[in-house]
Chain A
Amino acid sequence: MTDYQTHDHDVLVIGAGGAGLRAAIEAAASGVSVGLVCKSLLGKAHTVMAEGGVAAALANVDDRDNWRVHFADTMRGGQYVNNWRMAELHAREAPERVRELEAWGALFDRTDDGRILQRNFGGHRYPRLAHVGDRTGLEMIRTLQDHGVHQGIDVHMEVTILSLLMDGDRVAGAFGYDRERGRFRLFRAKAVVLATGGIGRAYSITSNSWEYTGDGHALAYHAGAALQDMEFVQFHPTGMVWPPSVRGILVTEGVRGEGGVLKNREGRRFMFDDIPENYRSQTADTPEEGWSYTQGDKNARRPPELLTRDHVARCIVREVREGRGSPHGGVYLDIAWIKERLPKAAEHIRRKLPSMYHQFKQLADIDITTTPMEVGPTTHYIMGGIRVDGDTQMSTVPGLYAAGECAAGLHGANRLGGNSLSDLLVFGKRAGEFAAKFAKEAHDTRIDAGQLEETAAIALEPFSRNGSPGEGPFQVQQDLQTMMQDLVGIVRTDSEMQRALEGIGKLGDRARRAGVQGNREYNPGWHTALDLPNLLTISEAITRSAIERKESRGGHFRDDYQDKDPAFGINVLVRKGAGGEMQLSREAIPALPPELKQIIEEMK
Chain B
Amino acid sequence: MAVEALKPDFADTGEQLEKQSASHKQEQVGRATFRVWRGDSTGGKLVDYTTQVTEGMVVLDAIHQIQADQANDLAVRWNCKAGKCGSCSAEVNGNPRLMCMTRLNDLNLEEPVTVEPMRAFPAVRDLVTDVSWNFTVKKRIKRFKPRPPDAPDGTWRMAQADIGRVQEFRKCIECYLCQDVCHVLRDHHKHDSFIGPRFLVYVAALEMHPLDTENRIAELKEAHGVGYCNITKCCTAVCPENITITDNAIIPLKERVVDEFFDPIARLVRLVRGKR
Residues of the B chain whose Cβ atoms lie less than 8 Å from the Cβ of A523: 72-73, 75
Which segment of A36-44, A336-344, A446-454, A548-556 sits at the interface?
A36-44
A485 to B146, CA, bound (A): 48
A-B contact pairs, 29 of them (CB 8 A): A41-B87, A42-B135, A44-B86, A48-B85, A49-B84, A49-B85, A107-B166, A107-B209, A110-B160, A114-B158, A135-B171, A180-B125, A180-B128, A209-B80, A210-B78, A244-B54, A245-B54, A246-B56, A362-B83, A363-B58, A516-B72, A518-B73, A521-B124, A522-B75, A524-B72, A524-B75, A525-B67, A525-B72, A528-B72
Q: Are B56 and A107 in contact (CB under 8 A)?
A: no
Q: Are A40 and B79 in contact (CB under 8 A)?
A: yes
Interface membership of A242, Cβ < 8 A: yes
A109 to B163, CA, bound (A): 8
Residues of the A chain whose Cβ atoms lie less than 8 Å from the Cβ of B58: 245, 363
Residues of the B chain whose Cβ atoms lie less than 8 Å from the Cβ of A146: 138, 143-144
Interface membership of B167, Cβ < 8 A: yes
10 nearest CB pairs, A to B:
A243-B56, A525-B72, A518-B73, A114-B157, A105-B144, A474-B68, A522-B75, A522-B125, A209-B79, A110-B160
Residues of the B chain whose Cβ atoms lie less than 8 Å from the Cβ of A475: 68
A499 to B86, CA, bound (A): 39
A552 to B240, CA, bound (A): 44
Min CB distance B220 to A, Å, is 18
Interface membership of A260, Cβ < 8 A: no
Q: How large is the interface on A (under 10, 10 to 19, 20 to 34, 35 or more residues)?
A: 35 or more
A485 to B32, CA, bound (A): 30
Which segment of A96-104, A167-175, A279-287, A386-394 sits at the interface?
A96-104
A157 to B79, CA, bound (A): 14
Chain A 103-122: CB-based contact to B (< 8 A → 1; otherwise 0): 11101011001110000000
Q: With A362-B83, A518-B72 known to touch, is A102 a contact of B155 (CB < 8 Å)?
A: yes
Residues of the B chain whose Cβ atoms lie less than 8 Å from the Cβ of A503: none
User: Which residues of B77-115 are within 8 A (CB) of A?
Assistant: 77-87, 101, 103
Residues of the A chain whose Cβ atoms lie less than 8 Å from the Cβ of B75: 521-524
B101 CB contact (under 8 Å) in A155, A243, A362: A362
A107 to B158, CA, bound (A): 9
Interface membership of B74, Cβ < 8 A: yes
Residues of the A chain whose Cβ atoms lie less than 8 Å from the Cβ of B275: none
A149 CB contact (under 8 Å) in B56, B67, B82, B139: B139
A517 to B144, CA, bound (A): 47
A267 to B207, CA, bound (A): 50
Chain B 156-184: CB-based contact to A (< 8 A → 1; otherwise 0): 11111001001100110110000000000
Q: With A211-B79, A364-B56, A523-B75 known to touch, is A138 a contact of B209 (CB < 8 Å)?
A: no
Residues of the B chain whose Cβ atoms lie less than 8 Å from the Cβ of A478: 68
Interface membership of A473, Cβ < 8 A: yes
A46 to B212, CA, bound (A): 28
Q: Are A150 and B174 in contact (CB under 8 A)?
A: no
Interface membership of B57, Cβ < 8 A: yes
Q: Are B76 and A524 in contact (CB under 8 A)?
A: yes
Chain A 145-171: CB-based contact to B (< 8 A → 1; otherwise 0): 011011000010100000000000000
Further 7 A-B residue pairs, CB within 8 A, beyond A107-B158, A524-B76: A43-B174, A105-B146, A155-B135, A211-B79, A517-B71, A521-B125, A525-B67
Min CB distance B8 to A, Å, is 27
Interface membership of B126, Cβ < 8 A: yes
A45 to B76, CA, bound (A): 16
Q: With A40-B79, A107-B209, A210-B79 known to touch, is A355 a contact of B56 (CB < 8 Å)?
A: no
Interface membership of A314, Cβ < 8 A: no
Min CB distance A417 to B, Å, is 17
Q: With A209-B78, A521-B125 known to touch, is A363 a contact of B84 (CB < 8 Å)?
A: no
Q: Are B84 and A355 in contact (CB under 8 A)?
A: yes
Q: With A104-B144, A362-B103 known to touch, is A522 a contact of B54 (CB < 8 Å)?
A: no
Residues of the B chain whose Cβ atoms lie less than 8 Å from the Cβ of A211: 79
Min CB distance A133 to B, Å, is 8
Q: Are B155 and A474 in contact (CB under 8 A)?
A: no
Q: Are B170 and A139 in contact (CB under 8 A)?
A: yes
Chain A residue nearest in CB terms to B105: A365
Residues of the B chain whose Cβ atoms lie less than 8 Å from the Cβ of A114: 156-159
Residues of the B chain whose Cβ atoms lie less than 8 Å from the Cβ of A102: 155-156
Residues of the A chain whose Cβ atoms lie less than 8 Å from the Cβ of B83: 355, 358-359, 362
Interface membership of B131, Cβ < 8 A: yes
Min CB distance B73 to A, Å, is 3
Min CB distance B200 to A, Å, is 15
Q: Are A242 and B139 in contact (CB under 8 A)?
A: no
Q: Are B81 and A44 in contact (CB under 8 A)?
A: no
A42 to B174, CA, bound (A): 10
A355 to B82, CA, bound (A): 9
A472 to B212, CA, bound (A): 52
- A: which residues have CB within 8 A of B? 40-46, 48-49, 99, 102-105, 107, 109-110, 113-115, 132-133, 135, 137-139, 142, 146-147, 149-150, 155, 157, 180, 209-211, 242-246, 249-250, 355, 358-359, 362-364, 467, 472-475, 478, 516-519, 521-526, 528
A148 to B167, CA, bound (A): 20
Q: With A363-B56, A474-B72, A475-B68 known to touch, is A132 a contact of B82 (CB < 8 Å)?
A: no
Q: With A104-B144, A149-B139 known to touch, is A109 a contact of B160 (CB < 8 Å)?
A: yes
Q: With A103-B146, A210-B78 known to touch, is A48 a contact of B56 (CB < 8 Å)?
A: no
Q: Are B143 and A110 in contact (CB under 8 A)?
A: no
A243 to B29, CA, bound (A): 13
Q: Are B124 and A249 in contact (CB under 8 A)?
A: no
Q: With A104-B144, A246-B56, A474-B68 known to touch, is A142 a contact of B87 (CB < 8 Å)?
A: no
User: Which residues of B30-74 are within 8 A (CB) of A?
Assistant: 40, 54-58, 61, 67-68, 71-74
Q: Are A359 and B139 in contact (CB under 8 A)?
A: no
Q: Are B67 and A474 in contact (CB under 8 A)?
A: yes
Q: Are A521 and B40 in contact (CB under 8 A)?
A: yes
Residues of the B chain whose Cβ atoms lie less than 8 Å from the Cβ of A242: 56
Min CB distance B167 to A, Å, is 6
Chain B residue nearest in CB terms to A111: B160
Q: Are B56 and A49 in contact (CB under 8 A)?
A: no
Min CB distance A573 to B, Å, is 32
Min CB distance A204 to B, Å, is 13
Residues of the B chain whose Cβ atoms lie less than 8 Å from the Cβ of A48: 79-80, 84-85, 173
Residues of the A chain whose Cβ atoms lie less than 8 Å from the Cβ of B78: 209-210
User: Which residues of B117-132 are within 8 A (CB) of A?
Assistant: 124-126, 128, 131-132
A293 to B166, CA, bound (A): 30
A336 to B154, CA, bound (A): 40
Residue in A155, A363, A522 whose Cβ sees the most chain B Cβ within 10 Å: A522
A501 to B74, CA, bound (A): 32
B173 CB contact (under 8 Å) in A138, A150, A519, A522: A138
Min CB distance A103 to B, Å, is 6
Residues of the A chain whose Cβ atoms lie less than 8 Å from the Cβ of B149: 103
Min CB distance B266 to A, Å, is 28
Q: Are B80 and A40 in contact (CB under 8 A)?
A: no
A453 to B87, CA, bound (A): 33
Q: Are A244 and B56 in contact (CB under 8 A)?
A: yes
Residues of the A chain whose Cβ atoms lie less than 8 Å from the Cβ of B54: 243-245
Chain B residue nearest in CB terms to A514: B72
Min CB distance B126 to A, Å, is 7
Chain B residue nearest in CB terms to A115: B157
Min CB distance B109 to A, Å, is 15
A41 CB contact (under 8 Å) in B131, B155, B209: B131
Min CB distance B137 to A, Å, is 11
Min CB distance A373 to B, Å, is 14
Q: With A149-B139, A522-B124 known to touch, is A135 a contact of B84 (CB < 8 Å)?
A: yes
Q: Are B77 and A41 in contact (CB under 8 A)?
A: yes
A55 to B103, CA, bound (A): 35
Residues of the B chain whose Cβ atoms lie less than 8 Å from the Cβ of A359: 82-83
